[in-house]
Amino acid sequence: MKVAVIGATGMVGSVMLKLLEERSFPVSELIAVASEKSVGNTIVFNGKEYTIKGMQDAVEQAPDIAIFSAGGSTSLEWAPKFAEKGTVVIDNSSAWRMDPSKKLIVPEINADALTSEDKIIANPNCSTIQMVMALAPLHKKYKMKRVVVSTYQSVSGTGAAAVQQLENEINGVKGEMAYHYPIHKNAIPHCDTFEDNGYTKEELKLAREPQKILDDRSFSVTATAVRIPTAGGHSEAVNVEFVNDFDISEVRRLLHQTPGITVQDNPATNTYPMPMYAHERDEVFVGRIRRDETQPNTLNLWIVSDNLRKGAATNAIQIAEYLLAKELIGKKAGKHA
């Protein structure tokens, strides 16, 4: 596979490169792409040094697959140019997620929707991925009616500048501010920009993306997204009302049996998911599983995942692995026919 990583020097891009190594993805040739200011610099991948290329250069090399993590405007401009060359694009931005002509994929849930015709594939929002991973098996069994989610999102979800702001504030150093306010010893109920209805874009992603992934608009989601002073890992308090009643032991069993889910739920031993456990792990961790006693058929969950891995890079590479396994990329997919 000739593989391009777009945004290779960014936080998610760096994790993508690490995971391509860890998961032994068959990269015969790597095309590392970053902003113009980084072109000509080098990175090391699988023990070999690669020179960072510009976008046009990468397009002309017609890679088999291009994994984007470079922002929505970059994806809107360049993903179609790669696709025209026959490259399959997996895009980590929000640019294509709600485009009705593009698939929004969490491999454990809906990878079977992909075909050789899909040249631009959208990777969902990090908070969406971990939530739907836990909710998909429960929705299949009990049918969701309404979901209320509050997120506790790490500064790494904003990017390197926000991580630096937190480190500066911890160490008493004055520096550039990624947020309007200090984040150290604080919680900021403001992830992404505000829309006219008072919700942020992040909250609307959580509301809309699950319906597309599960191909079901019969349930609704309302969200409040909060930034907290952790360096990595997103957490979510999820309250889900089902059409049908459930048994707690069966809920635990369903989650235990779901690939990619790890249940950590034993109050007697203070066992529950936390970002420190999710660090550099690919699983979605679920705990605090309990019935909402204030209304029928309603469940409370606490969901945690590494937002840079399963929430971004791992999910994207799992999509690439699925395409490869199903022969939907490369020569066997008819790209060079």
pLDDT of 273 reads 98
CATH superfamily of 127-306: Dihydrodipicolinate Reductase; domain 2 (3.30.360.10)
Q: Please name the residues in contact with 208: beta carbons below 8 A apart, sequence gap of 6 or more.
A: 98, 221
User: Which residue numbers in the chain have pLDDT < 70?
Assistant: 331-337
Give, as one character, the DSSP assignment of residue 125. Answer: P
Q: Which listed CATH number (3.40.30.10, 3.30.565.10, 3.40.50.2000, 3.40.50.720) goes with 2-95+312-333?
A: 3.40.50.720
Domain with CATH 3.40.50.720 in the chain: 2-95+312-333
pLDDT of 63 reads 98
pLDDT of 94 reads 96
Both structure tokens of 158 = 């904003």
Can you say whether residue 86 is alpha, beta or left, with left for phi > 0 and alpha for psi between -120 and 50 degrees?
left
> What type of residue sits at position 8?
A
Q: Is 202 exposed, middle or buried (0-12, 13-18, 19+ CB in 10 A)?
A: buried
Both structure tokens of 147 = 């979901």
Give, as one character, the DSSP assignment of residue 246. Answer: -
User: Can you name the residues that pair with 235 across neighbouring β-strands?
Assistant: 152, 304
Q: Where are the alpha helices (DSSP H) in the chain?
A: 11-22, 55-60, 72-84, 107-110, 126-142, 160-170, 201-213, 248-256, 275-278, 314-325
Catalytic residue (one of 126, 190, 191, 279): 126
Q: For residue 300, what is the enclosing H or E element?
A: strand 298-305
pLDDT of 303 reads 98
Q: Known catalytic residue: 191?
A: no
CA angle, 136 then 140 then 142, to 5°: 110
Q: Known catalytic residue: 234?
A: yes
User: Can you name the residues that pair with 234 across neighbouring β-strands?
Assistant: 305
Catalytic residue (one of 234, 256, 279, 336): 234
Give, as one character, the DSSP assignment of residue 268. Answer: G
Residue 113 and residue 130: Cα distance in Å, rounded?
19
pLDDT of 330 reads 75
Domain with CATH 3.30.360.10 in the chain: 127-306
pLDDT of 170 reads 98
- Closest to 45 in 3D by CA, of 71, 11, 9, 88: 9
pLDDT of 333 reads 52
